[in-house]
Each structure stands twice: as structure tokens, then as C-alpha cells.
Structure 1
Amino acid sequence: MTHEQGRLGGEYHGTQGPLFWLAVRTAMLTALTLGVYRFWAKTRIRRYVWSSVGADGDAFEYTGTGLEKFLGFLAAIVILAVYLGAVQMILFYFGLTLFGAAETQAELFLQFGAFGITSLAILPLVFFAQYRARRYRLARTRWRGLRFGAEAAAWGYVWRAMIYWAIALLSLGLLWPLMTFRLAQYKADRSWYGNARFRQNGRWTGLYAAMKQLFVALGLMVLAAIFAAIQLYVLAGLWATLGAIWFSVGLLSYRVNAFVYLTENLVLEVPGADDVTFGTSPQTWNVLWQMVGGSMAVFAATGLVFGLLGAGPLLLIGLEAVPLHVLIVPSVLLYMLALAISGALWLIWVAQPILRHVVTRCTAQGTGALNGVAQRAGDSGADAEGFADALDIGGAF
């Protein structure tokens, strides 16, 4: 991290080797413990990643523990079971059920209705889990010994997320920037570094520039529809395919450019000092290359690993050199090892390069004011991402 006249520029110090072997070891332990160790595995990987991000010679620190994540998960499972059980009892009272084979179209329709209601019932918990998981990560992150934190405002985020998602969907995506900005603003305005508070400036209409590639994809789809209408189906198919590909790229471009706009309009309000401002300049095509190229490399390497590790047992079975039952346990262990290697390769060839690219393109200005930031009182672990783990929305790290 460089420091020039109150300006910090990011550096990432992580390397492939240590992260790869850490990921393989923790994945194998997770498999051998039937998934129980995954809470400690994620904690160990986060500690490595956090400590690899530097700021003016000081690395970030992750202080979460696997035990608190495990206990939070158990508590969340109990609450979810009671909540979903209550939902199913209400559905049953009204003659709706998810279980049993439908014998008529009416029963099939009622089952679809029950499934939709159950999904809507879970949706608030998804938003609740997202906010609480973010709050937990901030509360367990330190820099220069000072804690980050977020206010206990998960339910306020839930109803806002429900409303803005509905607006975005009903507008067929045209008001997607409104949802993106308002939810990001809600989270940022309730986040802290020590006793300094973040504030999200800007306007939601400023995110429309980030949708440029999505509008291009829409134009290609319209062109495909025109060709289909005049029965030029080959050209329609070609333009529709190009539009679908462009749409996928457009979604990534929107996320990257929305991140840029939000970061450049984010400030840290330090008591008694000037605000600290931020900047970033990740490139969409760099992120796309890391995602596509890295994923292809992982796919190819994974196929090779499965082939090499599976060749020995298959050869022994074919030659009848060893009884089949003797090879069951070794084969399962080799399969778990192959999966662990695959996951580790994704971390070092996809996730880490993208993180390095983003971190090294982030800057902060007016950082002399950070010397006036005081320590923040520690936040409770809450459910320690328990709901996020139970609903499988924990994220890459």
C-alpha cells in the first residue's frame, strides 16, 4: 500500500501456493467431518485473505472464529425449522401442501401455489441473512487495530429490499439502478470504521451509465425479434445468441461500473476532520477474462485431476487385481481429494486474481484524517452468519 500526501493505494500480498494448500487441507477436513469443519475452514481462508490486503503497511485482520459461526448456524437452523414449520401448518390449514403426488390439475395448481408462498416466505429471511452476514464480517474486521462495524438494522433492510426488488421487477429492470443505489446507501450509511461513519453520496440516476451494455443487449434482442417477425430465422437466431452473450457481459459490466460509481461517491466522516474519499478503477474486461479464462482452466484441470486419480482404481478393477469392496474407501477419498483440488484451483485462478485486481485499483484520499479515528465498541456476534450459512448465501469468502 503506497502512502503519498494523504493518499493510499491498495496492494494485495496473497500468493497462490499457500492459499491453494490451505484450501485443499480445509476442504478435505470438511469432507471427513461430513461438513462440520466448513465453519472453521471458511474462517481460516478469510484470515489468510484479510491479512493479504494491506493499507499503508498495515494488513487487515479477521477476528471471527469457527465456533461462533457453528453455534450461529445451529441457532439459525432451529429458528428456520420453527418458522417454516409454522408456514406449512398455515398452508395445510388452507388446504395447500408441498407434499404428496398431485392427482388432478387443481391439486397440481395448489402445489405450485404452496411452493410460491413458501418461497416468498423465505425471501425476507434471505435479505435478513445478507444484512446480518455483512454486519458480522464488518464487526470481525480490523485495520490498524480499529474495528469496523454496522448498526443493527437488518429488518429495516428487509422491507426496503422487498419493496425495491418489486419495483425493479415490475419496471422490467428499468428501475434496477434505483434498487442498487438505495440498498447500497442504506448499508453504507449504517457502517462505521471506529467512530467514523460512512456516507453514500451520489444519485441513483448516476447508475444508468453503468447499464450501457445492457441497453446494447436489449437492442440486439429487438433486432432478433424483427428478423423473426419477417421469418429470417437464421439471422434471428444469430442476433438472439449474440444478444444473450452480450446480456451476460452487460450484467458483469453493470456490477463493475456500479461498484465504481458507488465507491467514488462514498465518504468516511471523521469527527473533527475532513472527510476521507475513495476511488477505484477495475476494468470489466479484466474481470471477465479472469472469470472466463480462469473457469475454463479450472474445468480443464479438474477433468485431468479426476482422470488421473480415477485411473488407478479403474485399472485395478478392470484387471481384477483387487476386490471391488477393498477399493470403495480409497476411491471415495480420492474423489474427495479431487473435489478439494477443484475448489482450491477456483480460489487461486478465479477468486484471488479478481480480488487482487479490484484491491490494487482502490484508493483513498485525505487519509491523514484517519489519525483522529477512535476505537469503536465491539459488536455482538449476533447469529455469526448462521442464517447466511443455513440459506447457502455465504459468498466466495
Structure 2
Amino acid sequence: MHQPVQALPSEPPHAVVFHGSRGRFWKLVARGALLEFVTLGFYRFWLTTDIRRHLWSNTSVGGDPAEYTGRARELLVGFLIAVTILIPFYLAYFLLGLEAERLQAFASVPLIFAFLVFGQFAVYRARRYRVTRTVWRGLRFSMTGSALAYCWRASLWSLLVALTLGIAYPWRQAALERFKMKHTSYGTLEGRFEGRPRQLLGQIWWMLLLAPFALVLFVPAPFLYAAFRAAEWRWWISGIRIGEIAFHSDLTRKALFGIYWKVVGWLTLIFAAVGALYAGFIAAAVLRGGQEPSEVEILAAAQSPAILVGIALSYLIAGVAAGAIVRVYLSRDVWVRIAATTSVLNISAADDVSGQGSLADPLGEGLIDGFDMGGI
């Protein structure tokens, strides 16, 4: 078993530095959100690519920035291929629904199971795509391994997590990270994962116990989830090894509290505004006659074509705005916070490395988009 890597006395840890401007990122996301609205969502492939290029290129390790070489057209092609894979599942479910409601309810069980299984397949393929499009010091990362092998491992571990009410979660994450890092390399430097499940369990066990109460009370939920994510990020980063290069995270449990609560606040404000707008539309319609409306008139006004079109556009705008908020806070701000608390040990091990590996296809990214599981 590998022992934790220590920094050499002559080589101090190197900080991960993010140089990007928040204002510039806001402009990038605002422009992308507008184009998403105009193109009914199809611009998201280009926006995702622009966001990754911004984050990668503004993140430096040892003074050298990373580079993202993926292209939006690849994501679009991957999505179109994924759609052809997913259509038969949706079609079978629809036809069973036409045949009998009872059969549709029965079909929902294997359909959900198939989505969960294929979702894990997509997660692995999407990660492989992003890894093989990441370049540092002119050398590309590579990733191999079977997505099907990862898929059945992830599915069985997820079943065990459900049966143990979450207790097996750290063991699941450690096993899957070992599989992913075993097949990840930077040139000739092979990756591995040394995070121990008990370390993660020791940090999150009380969160698992409080999770049901937080979901019911809601107010503690963002705090609890932010603390959970921070603990998991710190454990994951500190467990990564690439050859003799090691990573260390000082991310505190409270580091993400403000970010998650800002997201909750903005989303609440956005959808409250949509609700108020909907109520205003109905009020304007029913009071046009100058008399107190009946319940039938109010219901008819709420279902009028003009009101429905207006509210549909409002929800579309709200959805685009919510997407922009999520990208700024949960993509950019979380990335920056994590980078600021991460350091790299023994970076000189990457000084004499040769390249190897090949580019992965974008199918995984397309499946991720098809399952609405998109991420950076």
C-alpha cells in the first residue's frame, strides 16, 4: 500500500492559483444565458465549453495554467448520439402508457433503474472526455478503463448505500475513485487514490444522521449540504496521487455556507417573482370588467391562452436566469474557493514526463446532457 506523499524539504508546496475575473465570468454567463433563451437551450454546448475554457485557463499550478481543448461541436454530436440511445426507452414507456396505466406504472420501475445504470455509464464516459481534453505544460492527461465495469460497480455500491441508509457511502466513493484514478494518468505518471473511507465517515457521520430532519425543516438543509460537500471535496483532493505528485486541501467545513445560501436566496427570489407575475396577469384579466369576479371567471382567466403563453415565457426566462445563478455560484465560486485552499506537493515529479493515451469520444457528455446531469 502506498504511504502518504510528503513534500521534500527542498521543495515547498505549490499553491493552486485562480486568476480569473468574476465580472468577466458574469458577462460570459449572461451572454450565454441570452443566447440559450434565443436558441431554446441549444447554445448550452457552446456556453459549457466557454465556461470550462475560462476556468481551466485561469487556474495555474506552479505558475503554469491548464488548458481545455474540448469543442462545443463535440458536445452537440455526443448529445445527438445519446438522444438516439435514449429515445427507445422513452418510446417504450409511452407505448405502455397508451396500453394501460397499470403497465405504465409497472414500466416506471425498470425505466428508473435503467436510467440510474446508464447514468453511471455516462458519468464515467463524461469524465474521460474532460480528462483527455485537459492539458497542462503542453501535455495532455489521459484516461482509459471500461465504462461498463465502472457502471456495474457504481450500481452495486449504490444499492449497498441504500440498504445501509447511507453508511456505506464513504466506501462507495473510495472504491469508485480508486477505479477512476487507476485508469487516469498524466503522460507516463499513473494516477491512484489513497483516501480512506473511515476518514470520510468520521467527518460526515453526523450529517447522515441529521439529513432526514434537515429535509423536513429545510432551513438547515443548505448548511448541512454545504458542509457535506466541503468535507467530501477536502477528502477527495487530499487522496489524489499522480505518480509522486500529491494534493492537499485546507477547505473548511464552513467554506461553502455563503455560496449555497446565496443560490437558495436568488432562486427563491426568481421564482417568487414568477409567481407574483402570474398572479398579476390573472388579476389584470379578471378585473378588466370592473366587477368582482367569480371563481369560474378566475379559473377561466388563469387558463386563457394569453396568460398561459405569458407564464410559459416567464418560466423560461426564470429557468435561464436560474441556470446563470447556478453557473456563477456553484461552478465558478465553488471552483475558486476550492482552488484557493488546495496545494500541490512534489510538483517537480512532472518535470520529465512524456505523453501517451488517446482522445475519448464525446458520447458520455451527450448522455450526461440527456439525463440532465450536466456539470463542469
Q: Same fold (TM over 0.5)?
A: yes
Structure 2 residue 48 is the aligned partner of structure 1 residue 79: no
SS at match of 1:11: strand
In structure 2, distance between residues paired with 1:83 and 1:336: 26
What does residue 365 of structure 2 align with? 385
CA contact (8 A) 1:214 1:247 kept: no
Deviation of 1:16 (Å): 2.0
What does residue 122 of structure 2 align with? 129
What does residue 197 of structure 2 align with? 204
Indicate which of 14, 35, 48 corresponds to 2:20. Answer: 14
Map 1:352-371 → 2, pairs under 5 A? 352-371=332-351
Map 1:284-295 → 2, pairs under 5 A? 284-295=253-264
SS at match of 2:97: coil
In structure 2, distance between residues paired with 1:187 and 1:294: 30
In structure 1, distance between residues paired with 2:83 and 2:239: 38
CA contact (8 A) 2:226 2:260 kept: no
**Percent identical residues:** 27
CA contact (8 A) 1:302 1:341 kept: no
CA contact (8 A) 1:68 1:384 kept: no
Deviation of 1:283 (Å): 1.7
CA contact (8 A) 2:170 2:197 kept: yes
Map 1:164-243 → 2, pairs under 5 A? 164-214=157-207, 217=210
CA contact (8 A) 1:23 1:343 kept: no
Q: Residues 349 and 394 from structure 1, CA distance in 2 versus in 1: closer, same or farther, beyond 3 angstroms? A: closer
Map 1:77-156 → 2, pairs under 5 A? 77-82=83-88, 85=91, 97-99=96-98, 102=101, 108=102, 110-156=103-149
CA contact (8 A) 1:217 1:246 kept: no
- Given residue 363 of structure 2, which amino acid in structure 1 is its aligned partner? D
- Given residue 34 of structure 2, which amino acid in structure 1 is its aligned partner? M
Q: Residues 390 and 368 from structure 1, CA distance in 2 versus in 1: closer, same or farther, beyond 3 angstroms? A: same
Deviation of 1:294 (Å): 4.4
Could you tell me which runs of 5 or more consecutive residues in structure 1 were left unpaired when the two chains were aligned.
103-107, 222-238, 270-274, 320-324
In structure 1, distance between residues paired with 2:215 and 2:139: 52
SS at match of 2:256: helix
- Given residue 47 of structure 1, which amino acid in structure 2 is its aligned partner? R
In structure 2, distance between residues paired with 1:83 and 1:241: 34
Structure 2 residue 287 is the aligned partner of structure 1 residue 281: no
CA contact (8 A) 2:245 2:347 kept: yes
What does residue 260 of structure 1 align with? 234
How many residues align? The count is 351
With the length of structure 1 as denominator, give the TM-score of the two structures: 0.75
Question: Deviation string for 1:284-321 (max 9, x for gaps)?
Answer: 2120221103431564478779999xx9xx99xx99xx
Indicate which of 34, 44, 49 corresponds to 2:55. Answer: 49
SS at match of 1:64: coil
In structure 1, distance between residues paired with 2:316 and 2:222: 32
- Given residue 14 of structure 1, which amino acid in structure 2 is its aligned partner? G
Deviation of 1:252 (Å): 3.6
- Given residue 355 of structure 2, which amino acid in structure 1 is its aligned partner? Q
In structure 1, distance between residues paired with 2:208 and 2:93: 42
Could you tell me which runs of 5 or more consecutive residues in structure 2 were left unpaired when the two chains were aligned.
1-9, 289-304
Q: Residues 349 and 193 from structure 1, CA distance in 2 versus in 1: closer, same or farther, beyond 3 angstroms? A: same
CA contact (8 A) 1:20 1:347 kept: no
In structure 1, distance between residues paired with 2:369 and 2:97: 24
SS at match of 2:247: strand
